[in-house]
A and B are shown apart, each in its own frame.
Chain A
Amino acid sequence: MNQELVIVSRNKNHKSNKLSLNLYRTVCYIVLIIMAFLCLFPFYIMLVNCTRANSDIQKSFSLVFGTNLATNLRNLFNNKNYPIAQATLNSSWVALCVALLTVYFSALTAYATHIYNFKGKKVISTFIIAIMMIPTQVATLGLLLMLYDIQAKTGVKLMDTFIPIVIPSICAPVTYFYLKQYMDSVLPTEVIEAARVDGSSEIGIFHKMVLPMIKPALAVQFIFAFVNSWNNYFLPSMILSSKNNYTLPILIASLKASDPSTFDYGQIYCLMTIAVLPLILVYFIFSKSIIKGLTSGAVKG
């Protein structure tokens, strides 16, 4: 007890307090700068190596940009082993569909449990939160067997198509949870009732009033759904088998470093840059609202 009192009284000494605060602040900055460096450095090296020739990359380490970017890109797009243009297109298309479906149907589901008082509502919303954390990977085996089964019985080919990757995104409990929390804070029941008086249909109210009102949350969730789909590897790698249907993560996973003679490092770094740079750029443009959306949308204690 005495010792603590000593600490307290010493801290009350203004001068030493200010000094220690400055010291503390300096430590904070140093740690933060180291962390920021670790986060950025690998990607800086990646960008630098995009612009260097294969032979240079293998020979030496450099922090300075080279002049080989155009050549590397041209070689990459002409290289038949890496269908980069097709993979980028596939990834964009899948991610766009996934993001739209996720956001729209999660908002619809959240709206249903937010505004209506039907029987079993509590059970249903509890259920959705309960399944939120269970990883979908545990059902992958059953999904694949089901897809094989459908093909054998009806002839409808779903394996090696985007359908089993895109359609399940209609059921996205995590997005539902965020949007439900957002609606709880911004969407009062009275507004909906007023719209009903105006004679709007229920689905019309949802489209014309609710969706615009929760736009900020929709935007943030759209970005996250897009990013998750763009980066998704586990399920697509089991479903997509033909090279034409590869998405970017599968393409990256299919790169083998076995044959250095035909392996052009410049092209590989360019390929990785194409896979990650668009998202980084979009992220830094919107980072302020993303971080803000994350901080306010996070769980309440």
Chain B
Amino acid sequence: MKKNKHQVEEVILPDGTIRKVKKNISYDKWGYFFLIPFFVIFIIFQFIPLGQTIYYSFFEYYFKLGLTQVGPNFVGFGNFVKLLSGEVFWKYLGNTIILWIIGAIPQFVFALLFAVWFTDGRLKLKFQGFFKAVVYMPNLIMAAAFGYLFFMLLGMTGPISVLLRNLGIIGENFSFRESASWVRIIIAFINVLMWTGNTCILLMSGIMGIDESIFESARLDGSSSFRTFRSVTMPLLMPIFVYVFITSMIGGIQLFDAAQIYTQGTGGPDATSYTIMMYLSNLISGSRNYGISGALSVILFIITGILSIFVYKTLIPSKDAQKQEKRVRNVRNLWLRINNKEYAEGALYESRISNSK
């Protein structure tokens, strides 16, 4: 390769002119060159800070009453022990998980329903563009504004409270801000509004990626919509569903804006909606306990890192391609069993699948 590096070759261009071109120049060094900005910034703004964070997680380092600096003194895993043996960490982690669960269940149910409906060839729903656009819209809205809007709407004199009180649905002294379960429900509700559309679109693109002929065969075999969903759509959608599900978990851990602003930083009654990110934020810029916040960051890094490995696996299709094929075959076999069809028809089906590839 190197020998040819500066060999000159004449190339005839389409308009007839002849131009001398250096042949076999290795352009590949340009690849490194173009990667420089990304990696320089990554190292300065993410890698070194992460290293610093891990470093300080092993030190006692805080400000007494926010003023007198204590440390940094090396304490080994002291901060981790303190954090993990204390109550607040588990309480806030629990809050975060609860908030995620009560939001994620309706979010995934609706997203899945909508994705199936929008892609169902028999249903042919009208105004699809409108519904998709509207359901997706809240995803673009500032979570902080969302939180504050609901804070306003549901205050004692907020319009929704006033409306519900006038209708006699809620009592005279009922406050959405003072009931622990309602604070949780409202924060989860904000998340459902914000993320259903996004989840729906990801799942939809997953369903659209499934071979149309499989649905067609199911339809010809007289399968009901629910049966098609359970036995065909869901198994084939699984890789994407897992991807969306885990990214939603990673997003759930980061829950901050809406909870922080809806509860005005208090975490609701008895801090029952105080999330782990609110804790981190408060440790860093509120009480300025760098040691403990370092340890908390490291724990969050490990949790999200583990979840990321699963996401990564769903994103790299190489080995999965075979699995996918196997899954298709399993689904087909299931079909044959369910419908008690002749094998000949199965062969026909198989040829249809291989033809469409």
Contact = CB atoms under 8 A, between A and B. Distances in A.
A139 B46 contact: yes
Interface string A119-152: 0010010001111111111111111111000000
B221 to A, nearest CB: 7
Interface string A196-233: 11110010001000000000000000000001001101
A60 B162 contact: yes
B123 A25 contact: yes
A135 B45 contact: no
Interface stretch (B81-89, B299-307, B346-354): B299-307
A265 interface: yes
A299 B315 CA distance: 7
Contacts of B149: 42-43, 46, 272
Mostly, the A contact residues are helix
Interface string A98-118: 000000011011011101111
Given A142-B51, A227-B140, A253-B260, A116 B27 contact: yes
A36 B125 CA distance: 15
- Among B56, B152, B201, the one with the most A-chain Cβ atoms within 10 Å of its Cβ is B152
A161 B300 CA distance: 27
Contacts of B293: 141
A275 B152 CA distance: 15
B205 A298 contact: yes
B196 interface: yes
B224 interface: yes
A154 interface: no
A38 interface: yes
B280 interface: yes
Contacts of A202: 27, 30
Interface residues of A, number: 110
Contacts of A108: 34, 37-38
Contacts, number: 327
Contacts of A57: 159
B174 to A, nearest CB: 16
Contact of A268 (B152, B240, B315): B152
Contacts of B28: 116-118
B145 A252 contact: yes
B290 interface: yes
Interface in B150-198: 150-153, 155, 157, 159-160, 162-163, 166, 193, 196-197
A257 B33 CA distance: 53
Contacts of B29: 118
Contacts of A233: 142-144, 256-257, 260
A64 interface: no
A238 B281 contact: yes
B16 interface: no
A272 B297 contact: no
B80 interface: no
Nearest to B244: A299
Nearest to B321: A301
A141 B290 contact: yes
5 contacts: A45-B159, A105-B38, A170-B41, A171-B42, A298-B205
Given A131-B42, A136-B46, 11 more contacts: A24-B123, A35-B114, A61-B160, A108-B37, A113-B31, A118-B29, A118-B32, A230-B142, A252-B148, A284-B133, A291-B136
